[in-house]
Amino acid sequence: MSKSHVTELSEVFRAIFQDARDAFPTLGTEFSKDFSTLQVLVGQRGLHVYLVDLPAIGKHLDRCLNDGQYLPSGLPLTKRYTGGVVIPKFLRGLYLLVFNEDGCLRANYSIEAVFFLRQICYLAKKAVVDCSQERIENEVLEFYQTDCSLPEPHRFWGESAESNDDVWRIYHGYGRDPAYLARMSAYDQSHDCSRSSCPLEALDFVSNLIVVTLGSYDPIVWRFRHGPGAISETTSATCKYQTLRENWPSNLESEFPVSDYGFHNYSSWGNWLLSARESRDARVRRNESGPQSEVPGDRVPESCVNSSRMVAVPKSFSRPRLIAAEPTSHQYCQQNIWHYFRERTERSWIASFVQFTDQGLNQRLCVAGSKSNALATVDLSSASDRVTCDTVGQFFRSNPRLLRALRATRTQTIRQQLTRKVPALIELRKFSTMGSACTFPVETLIFLGIALAAVLTTRGLRRTLGNVKSLIGEVAVFGDDIVVPSDSREQFERLLEVLHFKVNSAKTYWTGRFRESCGVDSLQGVEVTPAYWRGAFDGQTGSLAMAVETSNNFYKKFLLRTAMHIASTLPRRIAQVATSSGLFGLQTRTEPDNSHLTMRVNHNLFRVECLCEQVLTSSVRTQTGHESALLQYFTEAPSPFTKWENGYNQRPKLRKKLRWVPLELTHAHGSSLEGEFVRLHLKASGSPVSP
């Protein structure tokens, strides 16, 4: 982030303080001093103040709001106002509207003051910035250390796949596994795991119930497709269908025969086999005459075929996000399993607890939990990196075919070139990494099973489907964002620890007034979620789209001065649009004013149009002429009314373009523009126009 971006961020903070002054006019003088103090510290410590120090203050504030007591933290900008007052000098006016001088939460605290405190602290929390190389290396080292702390997977998960009957012999349930029983006893030595109240037995019941509800798994029923993510074989755009069958590993072949799923018919498969045999014969003849260079299209070693590639993507200034680019063939088959999970879940009672494509359930329960204190929001630390293979095996043991498919699509190693502190090729102990299409649904269902088992055990409920359904409205899971009843804390945390998971205490709230889950922050039933500044407009199309969205987000929070400031940095030819219009532009709740734009009357379409800047997405599709085009057609199944072409899309590019847009689209649905049309029509014809 350049110095100009730091300057722009300072101006955004100035606008936030102006919005705060409009909300609390009597604190205007204090806000001026607070902003000056902030700028002095920024001059000393730089961007770190905005991106790290203030969010840390915000996290401490959330915990104090939850506990009902402000305690000194020792963080920058939190120095006491005086020796006898625990409230910080910075933002003292807002703090005193929430806490008294002794730090106790006021009975009639100002929820608006809480919102502005959090808005100032979290303003730049999600700024899009690149991490330093040192932070990336530390994150990779933590990834490696976390994986090494997990138990080694059973040989069932190795490259040499065992027979189909071995699933039943290996996995008998959590309650019969000596390793899990030993961990349970270690956490609670007084607990008798042989009794019917053992939470591991409850987890076995719930896991069986979930897996039976999902039903049988047959790959031919569900949709194969390529995911949108990167692949491990290359970093450039390529036709995944063309390279799909070239490196189909043996572990996939055991459950997903390439002849059935990698070709559009058996004739194509036979021709491919014949071509491969001729290629091998040619290589043999060349080797007999002397060493030759490798022929393009040769199969790569099995260890590389079964390996993903580590990629670091921006997450925050403090740390990146590590994901895995999966091999093409694995990605193709993982999407089939993901389709199975999604469809079967949506059509069953599980959808009342889990919604894979909608965070609304978690968000609603988050607000309800902050009001009633009966529900807790739980966040886990590195959840996807702690899902062990044996945890997955025990959970899905009653569906051997599904379990073998999960084993087949699992990449066993990951390659990394981000640091020399860890090996370049890491042999994974975890089930899968972020980047696999199976990770999210598998971990979500496992966490759901743990939550339901913990509640059944805590409340002493019989293990029946009816009692499980009675928990609807009290349990919700979306990835590692979990909502559970507060009374089940002990059993829930114990089960998580037994299964090698770790609660992120900094973002978990069991008691008190505050809750956060799936992007919603709530205090006693009132949302106090801030708007986030993500980056300055630098003239590029991507930053234009981001800046317009950011301005609209601040506008929706009624931070009008901040929204206006961000809008003032944008090109003039951005249209004003109604909040319900769905058109790209700066949103407004009043009648859009686009008098600054060029207007015209389109006599052919009998409408008024304005010339405004639009952001469009364009992608060029490169045709391959390869035989795999027919497989691509059957896989994508385009509509007969769609002009379809085979091949692959180049990386999509955003571009700006001036376009004539119907003026009616900028207004709310149902509004009339007949008067505007008549006015412009008369003006164009030279007739007098009344004001």
Question: pLDDT tier at 618 (50, 70, 90 boundaries)?
Answer: confident
Provide the pLDDT confidence category of residue 241 given band limits of 50, 70 and 90: confident
Q: How confident is the model at residue 430 (pLDDT cuts 50, 70, 90)?
A: very high
**CA 271 to CA 436: how far, in whole Å?**
31
Pairwise CA distance, residues 111 & 76, whole Å: 24
Please give the Cα distance from 597 to 610 (Å, whole number). 6
pLDDT digits (tens, 9 = 90+) for 310-354: 999 888 888 899 999 999 999 999 999 999 999 999 999 999 999
Within its chain, how far is the Cα of 77 from the centroid? 31
Could you identify the residue written with the tokens 């037994």?
Answer: 498
Distance CA(460)–CA(458), nearest Å, equals 6
pLDDT at 617 over 60: yes
Token pair, residue 99, equals 């806490």
Say whether 484 sits in a helix, a strand or coil.
Answer: strand
Torsion angle defined by CA atoms of residues 267, 273, 278 and 282, in that order, rounded to the nearest 10 degrees: 150
pLDDT tens across 556-601, in order?
Answer: 999 999 999 999 999 999 999 998 888 999 999 999 999 999 999 9
DSSP 503-526: B-GGG-BSSSSEEEETTEEEETTE
Check residues 616 and 367 and name the one with the higher pLDDT: 367
Please report the pLDDT score of residue 275 as a whole number.
85
User: Residue 450 pLDDT > 90, yes or no?
Assistant: yes
Q: By C-alpha distance, which of 631, 414, 412, 374 is closest to 510?
A: 374
Please indicate whether residue 236 or residue 105 has the higher confidence score (pLDDT).
Answer: 105
pLDDT (tens digit per residue) in 156-214? 998 655 555 578 788 999 999 999 999 998 876 655 555 556 899 999 999 999 999 99
Q: Alpha-carbon distance 295 to 240, whole Å?
A: 20
- Window from 191-200, 218-227, 475-484, 628-637 with minimum mean pLDDT: 191-200
14 sits in the region (left: phi over 0; alpha: psi -120 to 50; else beta) called alpha
Identify the pLDDT of residue 304: 55
For tokens 């491919």, the residue is 272
| Helix/strand/coil for 475 | strand
pLDDT digits (tens, 9 = 90+) for 344-358: 999 999 999 999 999
Taking residues 464-475, report their average pLDDT.
Answer: 96
Exposure string (b/e) for 202-220, b if CB count within 10 Å is 16 or more?
bbbbbbbbbbeebeebebe
pLDDT at 214: 97
Quick one: CA torsion of 32, 34, 35, 40, rounded to 10 degrees? Answer: 120
- Looking at residue 498, its pLDDT comes to 95
Whole-model pTM?
0.90
Mean pLDDT, all residues of the chain:
88
Residue 299 has pLDDT above 50, yes or no: no
Which two tokens mark 148?
Answer: 């090494």
Tokens of 63: 């915990």
pLDDT of residue 691: 38
Q: Are 97 and 109 in contact (CB under 8 A)?
A: yes
- pLDDT of amino acid 447: 97
Confidence of residue 399 (pLDDT cuts 50, 70, 90): very high
- Please, which pLDDT band fits residue 297 given cuts at 50, 70 and 90? very low
Is residue 301 pLDDT above 60, yes or no? no
CB 135 within 8 A of CB 320: yes
List pLDDT tens digits, range 14-67: 999 999 999 999 999 999 999 999 999 998 888 889 999 999 999 999 999 999
pLDDT greater than 80 at residue 287: no
Query: How much is the pLDDT for 684?
Result: 55
Annotate 421-432 with b (16+ C-beta within 10 A) or e (fewer).
ebeeebebbbbb
- Which residue bears the tokens 């376009």? 659
Neighbours of 337 (CB within 10 A): 23
Judge whether residue 393 has pLDDT over 80.
Answer: yes
Residue 174: closest CA among 197, 193, 200, 194? 200
